[in-house]
Amino acid sequence: MAWIAGERIVLRAWERDDVRALWDAAQTLDDTGQRMRDWLEPPKSLAQLEQEFDGNVSEPDPTVVRLIIEAEGRAIGDIDLFHIDQRSRNAVVGLGIWREEDRGRGFGTDALRTMLRWAFRHLNVHRIELSVEPDNERAVRVYEKLGFVREGMRREHHYDDGCFRDELIMGLLGREFEATDRELTRAAVRTTP
């Protein structure tokens, strides 16, 4: 897979230069930068991340699809489909827009919708789930707009920033996504001059 085009983004394979872009974004001081540093725990140098990248390229995991979100000619985030279970046709999706200036511009929504189309239509996935902190209202709205439903709460699931945090689990079936995708497409056509 070379790339998958959305409306305003492209999903493409990771390149070694993207590791540097991720590293640079993780050095920011905003909340997402902190979450990215936590994700890179234990603290890793750029060289360690590049070594991990090289290992992932030489020995890919068949249960994981990791892609870069590119917009306006540059890497702005990443989106992953993981825990892909071919038998049960389930997967988990996760995404991140790395810098504050790229959030709230529709890139994440476009990237997720593009990934969902690809997963349901080309990988023949039946169900996709994700997890999100329940107070991340902007993300929850995006997920619900795309058809995800709240399925449960993992109470005090992970430790972050000095306290335990809950994790909201949301799920989406292929048929639910197709209905939502058709409606979103119709709504876009109605609003186009």
Residue carrying the six token digits 């949301």: 170
Instruction: Please name every residue paired with 95 in a beta bridge, in sequence order, or none if there are none.
Output: 79
Place of tokens 């990988």: 123
Average pLDDT of span 52-77: 82
Number of other CB atoms surrounding residue 43 within 10 Å: 9
Where residue 57 falls among pLDDT bands split at 50, 70, 90? low
Confidence of residue 85 (pLDDT cuts 50, 70, 90): very high
Q: Where are the beta strands (DSSP E) in 57-184?
A: 65-71, 74-85, 90-97, 127-132, 149-160, 163-173
Whether the CB-CB separation of 146 and 177 falls below 8 Å is answered with: yes
Instruction: Check pLDDT > 80 for residue 99.
Output: yes
Parallel/antiparallel/unpaired status of strands 65-71 and 10-13: antiparallel
A 10 A CB-CB count for 58 gives: 7
Q: Give per-residue burial for 99-133: e unless 16+ CB within 10 Å, then b.
A: eeebbeeebbbbbbbbbbebbbeeeebebbbbbbb
CB 142 within 8 A of CB 108: yes
Residues in the chain: 193
Confidence of residue 31 (pLDDT cuts 50, 70, 90): low
Percent over 70 (pLDDT), the chain: 82
Q: Residue 13 has which token pair?
A: 């394979």
Distance CA 99, CA 79 (A): 14
Per-residue confidence (pLDDT) for residue 34, from 0 to 100: 47
Report, at the CATH architecture level, how domain 3-191 is classified: 3-Layer(aba) Sandwich (3.40)
Q: What does the pLDDT read at residue 125?
A: 97
- Is residue 87 predicted with pLDDT exceeding 90? yes
pLDDT at 55 exceeding the cut of 70: no
Q: pTM for the complete prediction?
A: 0.86
Checking if the pLDDT of 65 tops 60, the result is: yes
